[in-house]
Amino acid sequence: MEELLRLINGYQVSQAIHVAATLGIADRLAGEPRSVDELALATDTHAPSLYRLLRALAAIGVLTEQPDRRFALAPLGEGLRGDAPESPAAWAAFIGRSYYWSAWSNLLHSVRTGENAFSALHGVDVWAYRIEHPEEAEVFDAAMTALARRVTAAVLDAYDFGRHAVIADIGGGHGALLAAILERHPQVEGVLFDQAAVVAAAAPTDRCQIVGGSFFESVPEGADAYILKAVLHDWEDESAVAILRTCRHAAPAGSALLLIERRLGPPNGEPAAKFSDLNMLVGPGGRERTLDEYAALLEVAGYRLIGETPAGAVTVIEAR
């Protein structure tokens, strides 16, 4: 029963970590322990209430409470530092945003109707909402960049991108994955493609062309390989096929298509993938898929599945 209650109350933990990440608590504790009053002054918060937050985080091993209401980072909390390798801090700062958090509170609506919770609640999809609220787009883009870093090393170790002369990363955000590919393979050239407002924040990289646009309309032509990382899972089948067809239209004969996605996995396992699928249901309106389901989408769009290369939490699905 205690384990069940812990799961039920999981929302409390994620919100507490979200607030700490938003306030940058871990970065402020990076050098040495600090008192609640110091932290409250630095974060413009109410000291007694901040203490209640921090002692709760200490109780679950994120922080360590010391005498006189001083706090230090516990080993677990070190991962929330912005400079920590593969830090999920930006993701924690995103998931608790009220506009997105409220979509999860509308999960019951999605389960009853099959409709996307976010659109039902806000009247627009997540993409239109972030265009209207650029401050939220900034938080989201930072979270996506952080997640990209978490899987990049595994993907680069598993798949040989050096076999392709020109790689186009479609929906590549700020270009974290593509920059890592180009750094590891000096002979490769890249094209970073995403919405104009997104790629405007991308750092210039040697041997990389940056192009803004919509992957429902057109993507850069002539690449030897096209990457779609964590793109198709944002969309239902009809839209996913439309994105694939846009890539197919731009791709020269023999070019590769590389889908980097989670796989749902077998029944009774892979909880991260199953809950990511629920996140797609309430958020962007897409879904996680099995390999067979990706193969079916590819066939409709004019591609042939070649195989897959597992890479940690994700897999690289190759088609031509």
List, by residue number, the catalytic residues: 233
Find the length of the chain: 320
Nearest to 257 by CA among 164, 156, 124: 164
DSSP string across 16-67: HHHHHHHHTHHHHTSSS-EEHHHHHHHHT--HHHHHHHHHHHHHTTSEEEEG
- Phi, psi torsion values for 207, nearest 5 degrees: 65, 25
- Residue entry with tokens 């897959």: 308
DSSP lists the bridge partners of residue 41 as none
Are residues 260 and 155 in contact, defined by beta-carbon separation less than 8 angstroms? Answer: yes
H helices within 200-308, ranges in order? 237-250, 271-282, 291-300
How far is 103 from 41, CA to CA, in rounded Å?
Answer: 33
Sign of the Cα pseudo-torsion (272, 277, 281, 283, in order): positive
Spatial separation of the C-alpha atoms in residues 165 and 138, rounded to whole Å: 32
Closest CA to 264 of 249, 277, 278, 279: 277
* Concatenated DSSP letters of 192-230: EEE-HHHHTTSPP-TTEEEEE--TTT---S--SEEEEES
3-state DSSP call for residue 171?
Answer: coil
Q: Which two tokens stand for residue 156?
A: 């680069």
- Amino acid identity at 274: K
